[in-house]
Amino acid sequence: MDFDDLEQEAANPSLSEELDSALARSAFDNVYFLPEGLVDELLNKENVRAELGCPSDKRKVEETALSFIFGEDENANGDRAKKLFVIALMAGIPADNLKLARVMGRFLNANIRDGSLPIKDTVGNSAFYDPKGSLLAPWSGIMIRNFIEKQWTVIAPVFTDQNLRHKLDEGCVLPIVEKVGGLEEGAFGEVMQVAIHERHNLNPILKHDGTRAHVALKIIKSAVYQKTTDPDKLEDLKREWEREVRAHIAMRKIRHDNIIEFMAAVERGHERYLLFRWAEGGNLRNFWEAHPRPALSRSFVKDVVDQIYGLADALDVLHSGRYGGDSYRHGDLKPENILCVTRTASGPSEVHVPILKIADMGLAKHHKVATSLRPATSMRYTTTRYEPPEVVFKLNLGRSRRYDMWSLGCVILEKIIWLLFGHDSLQEFNSKIVDQDGDPSHWFEKNTGDTGPRVAVHFHVRDTIRALETDQEYSGDTAVRDLLDIVKTKLLVVDIGDATAIGGDMSNPKSKVGSRVYSQELMESLRELVRKGANNESYWYSGRSRDRLPKLIVTSDGRQGKQPSLLSPESALPPQQRTGIPIHVRDADNVEIDHEAEISLPVPVPKESRFQLKTRRLDKTEFTVDNNFASQLVSRLDTAEIFPATEQALRLCAKCQQIDLCQRMFSLEETLAELDMSRSICDFCKMRWEVCHQLDRNKVTKVVFQRQESMITLNESSLPVLSLCRGLETNAPEAKVIQIGLPRLPPIASNSHYSILRKWLRECDENHKSCVTKPISQIRSPTRLIDVGTTTAPHARLFDTKPDVMLDYVALSHPWGAEPHFCTYRTNINQHRQEIPVTSSDFPDNFRHAIQTTRELGLRYLWIDSICIIQGPDGDFDVEAKRMEHVFSSAYCVIAASSARGQRDGFLNPRKERQFLQLPGQGGGDGLYVCRFIDNFKEHVLESPLSKRGWVLQERALARRTIYFTDWQAYWECGHGVRCETMTKVHNKLASFLGDANFPSKLSGNRKNPTDRGEKIRFYEDLYGQYSRLQFTHITDRSIAIAGLEQRMARDLGAQGRFGIFHDGQSLLPRSLLWRRGKEEAALLRILPGSGREGSYNPHVPSWSWMAYGGGIDFFDLPLGGVDWRVQEIQDPWGEGNGLSVLARRFKGMPASSAGQQDFEIVLDAGGEGDGMLEGWKDWRCVVVGSKRARKGQTATMPSDERTHYFLVITPRKKDLDGDEAVYERMGVGKMAGKFIGGNEVSRVTVY
């Protein structure tokens, strides 16, 4: 063969080579697939014949194979075997010895063709095995495995309008050829922007420019992350999936312009996916953020209203089944579920108003008949902020389709605010819709009035609508006015009343006058609005300039439920029909609708940052019923101790005899006067009267007690005032929600008491691997431990450990308190190695009780700092302090003397008794116990004398499990929450971050749901602020007592950390340096070297660290992502000497008066207030670490003089004032406009 023949052969590739070249890679599964249709296009008899490679004397075999492959044999029935042949080629089955042809013959004999794919099981398959189970030639085990694996290459699904459901095998490849960006996390799934191969998307959705739109692939969490074998849960997940798919398919049939296009539902093994059109404009919230201050024009406002009309029409189609289908309601309408599809503008607007499309129909509720005739339905996963009042206060009345009308009213009001005043005002509006605790709230509120609980539109929403009614666009006949009136009188209306059928047809209902409207009625109002605009262009927008208008100013008296409601049914009536008398419509939960309230003087509502709001939201204590654990434990205790017989007859008044505490949604409303009268004759009334002592009885006359599981709150207090518990015998069905618990705690240090502690440990050992298991490489035994002996041989001595021997030990967390202290010194260490004088009167009770508790827990070793670390000038504190992280993180358990104030107080002291009553007959059996609430982990532990000590913060965070001993009871804390000795289980997400057995894993989240880095930084700053306010016996320990915790936080941030400052080469160092003196501190006092414990090494802490000072600190509350950091002007300080190398500038001057100066503040570490503080500023230097970032709409090159700069204030050391050394110290921090800072004279100096 010459070279020309070789080139000719290369120019005509084989079928195998063509197939290989045609493969496409799935960007989702990271495997290859053959696009649909290419098998037919590439295969012909000539190239198949060439691949079969049959010799000339085997033509009959060849023809039989070809006939089978191309579907020409007598049994074909239109089915072919082209894909089987391609799979065999890709599996590497060779042509030699007729292997490839014989494989096709095996399929022919077994009548397996392309329609049989995929082949799931080869065992017993006659194409592979004979009747005796032996492999048929030419198959081998590896050939079969390759064939089964390669079959997925040719059967990737094809998406069409005719087939919207795909049930695929686990190995099937999704034909996704491009992933754009990363995953976007949602409440119930993750969404990914993808492109599907054009041969697998036969009915593509086109964008306005004619190109194919990308696809949104939604990965359903419930299926992917809840792989469960629980049949009930599996059935529940299956029903939820089926309901969602049916809703989407029904919406696809409607094909409304304002409903997002559904493409397919995919089941692949355990995985569930939904495919939609990708909305390139994001969601409506994103659109508002991207266009913070829209320029109004008539065409722009018209476009906005047109899209509101489209949304309303889409809801009407859902609600009414207008196109002959069943009716639905959405159930979770909010800006995040309204997507934006880009289009060209209809006029000369700078902003192209997108097409708004309703999405996330997973909560859509299917109705065969009108909702008004049906009982309550279940919508379990709604977003609560946009829920209407009836969801909370009318649970048994059902959720009508007017549910969506309230949510749409919320969205339209937000859109009006954005339209007129921009995104900043919208954010401020949303930040003030909070409840009494400052947490994000519904758009309604519940108040206690003279006639009982009432529900009204949230006071800030009402105040905002009043403010909008003073806007220039509200005057005259304008679209904004009519739209706001629709929101006020038809949508954001609490009362839904009873529907009236039109012509007896409940599919076309009519709302009661003054109540919230149905979608059909809303459409009537919007059609009138559109008609007005068609006849008068100026109706859309008055044309008056808004450039000089101030931002939206809303005033409020700050009290919920005290402003007159402008959203009431009466407000829609003509003036002559208004009675001026409050209307009270009582619902099933005895909650009234507040239609009027007295007028109060306006007081501005303080604004909180997003981080503060989130922190407050996380700082919520929940009390959950856990009767599995409690029943196992209580059955082993002495019931006479914990369920004592009633010592005297219980006195109950007639009302209390009728009370049923097990009643669902139990609520008891009464006046203080009634309680005062009956407390002398009724023990339960007396108990309720006594818990009202915290109320101002001059202002509060009525009280409401409500049960939430086993807890009873007073006037919706954040913490309960009473708790309920029951014994094992109380087993009536209605009592199942009540906690099995201990009305009276066992005596301290009794067998029952220690049984509870041991059960806590055993439960955690057996079920909480994350709390118990730790890599052996991370376990360190302390240098010394106390061998406590046993209960039968109670001999205690100091024990020197061996590095390679790992021991289970208890660590004691305790306060040292006032002298004298019991310690180990060089002078008595040998004596302690022989025996520790536990029985001596000089031996502290804290230590004696710790030794006793260790023995009772069945452990042999105990660590106490003052005994296990050699104290004094010749001691080894400096060495051991560095190991503190391992001491507490490696301990089997930590015991904390929370109630003690010093070494000698002890913690196994008699506890305070709590009051309780036994209510016979309640819940069956022995009845219920109603008790004074004592399960206050925050007050008893987190705010205890011990927790005010600086070392304890790190001890708690590093401990894997801790038992706290308090004046009231013992508490258990591990990575799975808090348990009380009363059997109550407590969870507080904010507190759990430090109670994490593997801190900071909970705060950091996980790979699927990581915590936002900015929020982590804020939490760590907040943690440092808390730590700086704790107390130390030796103030120089301030930089040591958090060192282990600091290193964990630094690792979590991917940074270096020391002295309370983080450095990651980016923004962390300048941000960390902007700490400031706490507002409660008059001055921060410098901690001088040598002022610590005698003989101990006191590290020199540089002045740029807050650890160099005593007193509380905070950090500048700077917007994450809102500062341009000057990272080049500050050099890494972790080198020798801890010097911070910076660029220093002089101040040009100071304002004559700081009063009224915007963005001007200087906080000196040594204190000082007012303009007098600024004396001597000419000797100061300024280190600019960051500058306020220009907002959208401002030029990015805004002159430096106009920008706000954040800086450190430094001054030369006194000894260096006359010298040449550029050595400085920090003296404060501040922010000001660049015009006060010199820009030309810059010098590199070092701050120590």
In this predicted structure, the answer to whether residue 591 has a pLDDT above a threshold of 50 is no
Compute the average pLDDT of residues 600-622: 48
Rounded CA-CA distance 1064/1232 in Å is: 26
* Burial profile 291-327: b = 16 or more Cβ within 10 angstroms, e = fewer: bbebebbbbbbbbbbbbbbbbbbbbbbbbbbbeeeeb
In this predicted structure, the answer to whether residue 397 has a pLDDT above a threshold of 50 is no
In this predicted structure, the answer to whether residue 970 has a pLDDT above a threshold of 60 is yes
In this predicted structure, the answer to whether residue 1220 has a pLDDT above a threshold of 60 is no
Q: Of 683 and 591, which is predicted with more confidence?
A: 683
What is the CB-side half-sphere exposure of residue 1135 using CA atoms within 13 A? 9
| CATH 1.10.510.10, applies to 284-593 | yes
For the chain, give the mean pLDDT: 82
User: Which of the listed CATH numbers 3.40.50.2020, 3.50.50.60, 3.30.200.20, 3.20.20.70 matches domain 165-277?
Assistant: 3.30.200.20
Residue 558 identity? G
pLDDT digits (tens, 9 = 90+) for 512-526: 777 899 999 999 999
Compute the average pLDDT of residues 661-675: 87
Which pLDDT score is estimated for 1160?
Answer: 86
pLDDT digits (tens, 9 = 90+) for 726-745: 888 766 666 778 899 999 99
- Cβ pair 1038, 1045 in contact under 8 A: no
Confidence of residue 1108 (pLDDT cuts 50, 70, 90): very high
In this predicted structure, the answer to whether residue 32 has a pLDDT above a threshold of 60 is yes
The pairing of strands 621-624 and 985-988 is antiparallel
Which pLDDT score is estimated for 513?
Answer: 73
Q: Of 1148 and 213, which is predicted with more confidence?
A: 213
Compute the average pLDDT of residues 930-948: 92
In this predicted structure, the answer to whether residue 965 has a pLDDT above a threshold of 80 is yes
* Helix 519-535 and helix 479-486, axial crossing angle in degrees, nearest 10: 170
Residue 257 makes CB contacts below 8 A (sequence gap 6+) with 310, 314, 355, 357
* Burial profile 914-934: b = 16 or more Cβ within 10 angstroms, e = fewer: bebbbbeebbbbbbbbbbbbb
Which pLDDT score is estimated for 1191?
Answer: 57
Q: What token pair was written down for 183?
A: 């995953």
Q: Which helix (H) or strand (E) holds 265?
A: strand 262-268
In this predicted structure, the answer to whether residue 261 has a pLDDT above a threshold of 90 is yes
Residue 576 identity? Q
Compute the average pLDDT of residues 27-33: 94
Confidence of residue 571 (pLDDT cuts 50, 70, 90): very low
Confidence of residue 1235 (pLDDT cuts 50, 70, 90): confident
pLDDT digits (tens, 9 = 90+) for 526-552: 999 999 999 999 999 999 888 877 778
In this predicted structure, the answer to whether residue 298 has a pLDDT above a threshold of 70 is yes
Confidence of residue 579 (pLDDT cuts 50, 70, 90): very low
Rounded CA-CA distance 177/174 in Å is: 9
CA 220 to the chain's CA centroid: 18
Compute the average pLDDT of residues 1103-1110: 93
Compute the average pLDDT of residues 1145-1169: 80
In this predicted structure, the answer to whether residue 587 has a pLDDT above a threshold of 70 is no
In this predicted structure, the answer to whether residue 51 has a pLDDT above a threshold of 90 is yes
Number of neighbours of residue 835 by Cβ within 10 angstroms:
11
Instruction: State the span(s) of the chain assigned CATH 3.30.200.20.
Output: 165-277
pLDDT digits (tens, 9 = 90+) for 449-495: 555 567 889 999 999 999 999 999 998 899 999 999 999 999 999 88
3-state DSSP assignment of residue 967:
coil
Confidence of residue 610 (pLDDT cuts 50, 70, 90): very low
In this predicted structure, the answer to whether residue 383 has a pLDDT above a threshold of 60 is no
pLDDT digits (tens, 9 = 90+) for 803-837: 888 899 999 999 998 889 999 999 999 999 999 99
Q: What token pair was written down for 318?
A: 């859902």
Residue 43 identity? L
Instruction: State the span(s) of the chain assigned CATH 1.10.510.10.
Output: 284-593
Confidence of residue 233 (pLDDT cuts 50, 70, 90): low
Rounded CA-CA distance 584/351 in Å is: 46
Compute the average pLDDT of residues 871-879: 89
| 85-99, 646-660, 1156-1170, 1205-1219: range with highest mean pLDDT | 85-99
Q: What token pair was written down for 1120?
A: 């994450």
- Determine which of 71-80, 325-334, 903-912 has the lowest per-residue pLDDT on average: 325-334
Cα torsion through 419, 420, 422, 427, rounded to 10 = -90
Compute the average pLDDT of residues 40-66: 94
pLDDT > 90: what percent of the chain? 48
Q: What token pair was written down for 217?
A: 């692939």
Confidence of residue 1201 (pLDDT cuts 50, 70, 90): confident
Which pLDDT score is estimated for 497?
Answer: 66
CA angle 933, 966, 765 (to 5 degrees): 95
Compute the average pLDDT of residues 617-637: 81
Number of neighbours of residue 851 by Cβ within 10 angstroms:
22
pLDDT digits (tens, 9 = 90+) for 145-175: 999 999 999 999 999 999 999 999 999 999 9
pLDDT digits (tens, 9 = 90+) for 776-807: 556 678 999 999 998 788 899 999 999 888 89
3-state DSSP assignment of residue 455:
strand
Confidence of residue 696 (pLDDT cuts 50, 70, 90): confident
Which pLDDT score is estimated for 1149?
Answer: 82
- Cβ pair 263, 275 in contact under 8 A: yes
pLDDT digits (tens, 9 = 90+) for 708-721: 889 999 987 778 99
